[in-house]
Amino acid sequence: MTEQTRRSFLGGLLAFGTSAVGALLAIPLARFSLDPLWRTTSDVLWSDVGPAADFQSITAPMKMQVAIEQRDGWRKILSEKPVYVIKLNGGAPRVLSAVCPHLGCSIAWSDTKGQFVCPCHNGVFAADGTLLSGPPPRGMDQLEARIEGGKLQVRYQYFRQLVPTREVLA
Amino acid sequence: MAAVVDWFDRRTGIRGLLHQALDEPIPGGARFAYVFGSGLLFLFLSQVLTGVFLALYYVPSADHAHTTVAYIVKEVSSGSFIRRLHVYGSSAMIVVLLLHIGQTILFGSYKGYRELLWLAGCVLFALILGMAFTGYLLPPCSIRGRRTLARSSTTRRATGPRI
């Protein structure tokens, strides 16, 4: 460091240039590898349940299958989930998730009893989804629904089980 | 700065290594014709680095290869930059490789006691061509599939009929 020759100057220039280029190229690599950290899972999309007219005059809950699409990174997952469409005297149709808030079994509608019954642990729900008896901590979960272009649509979501309040999971 | 380098040097001997690599005396003086070997090494390191990073997202299966490559290019931040770096880097390796061999032949640098060096170069040549060919097939799409088909039939014609 005592003597500054042309050679040492060029060496320093080389070292500086190399580290500068290396540091610049490290930025895209860091952004690339950290990408999943600031990527949020896609919003819950609206899925079609069926033509709204079909649900105008239902008297008992109607079981429907909705196709839902989830995106997880590059993967697109398509699946079908059962929901119940109910209609309380004169109101707009409401959509209930068929997943039991107790331990996640599929709730069935019993025409003879006029009640929802979960086959796993005998949770019983009224025709509007409120809890009547059994181990479930709350009534059946209502899903966000709307009527768009003459079609009933729903945002399918999962809710935390075994808690008395309705908490969205995904 | 010097203290840090001293500390590092005492534990790694980095000064000696750098001295050997950078201050090597070249008979007849340094020339631009001699850069291709180092250029190849640099390109190879770049290929390894970008390749490892691309492998973070790439899925090597017939079902998902195209989807994941499209995801890297369209969705992941800096993804298209890193993939382009890798793609152009692989072409650049072939170009620089041919320049390197041309320089070696034209300058007669294989002469003297360098037979083993030349043979090692032949092995590396085959390995690089193999990697360029197999890497080309990783993101499958119909055009590449057809080209690969054409290539393998060319190879078959060149090596004679199949028995």
A115 vs A106: CA distance, rounded Å? 14
Query: Model ipTM?
Result: 0.73
pLDDT digits 0-9 by tens, A113-155: 889 999 999 999 998 889 999 999 999 999 988 888 888 899 8
Nearest to A32 among B22, B64, B77 (CB): B77
A1 contacts B49? CB cut-off 8 A = no
pTM above 0.90, yes or no: no
Whether the predicted pLDDT of B56 surpasses 90: yes
User: Can you list the positions of beta strands (E) in chain A?
Assistant: 46-51, 62-72, 75-86, 94-97, 108-110, 115-117, 124-125, 131-133, 142-148, 151-155
Q: Chain B interface, mutation test: which of A3, A38, A71, A74, most B Cβ atoms within 10 Å?
A: A74
B68 vs B81: CA distance, rounded Å? 15
Give me the phi and psi of A50, to 5 degrees please. Answer: 165, 175
B67 contacts A74? CB cut-off 8 A = yes
Interior angle at CA A86, CA A82 and CA A87, nearest 5: 160
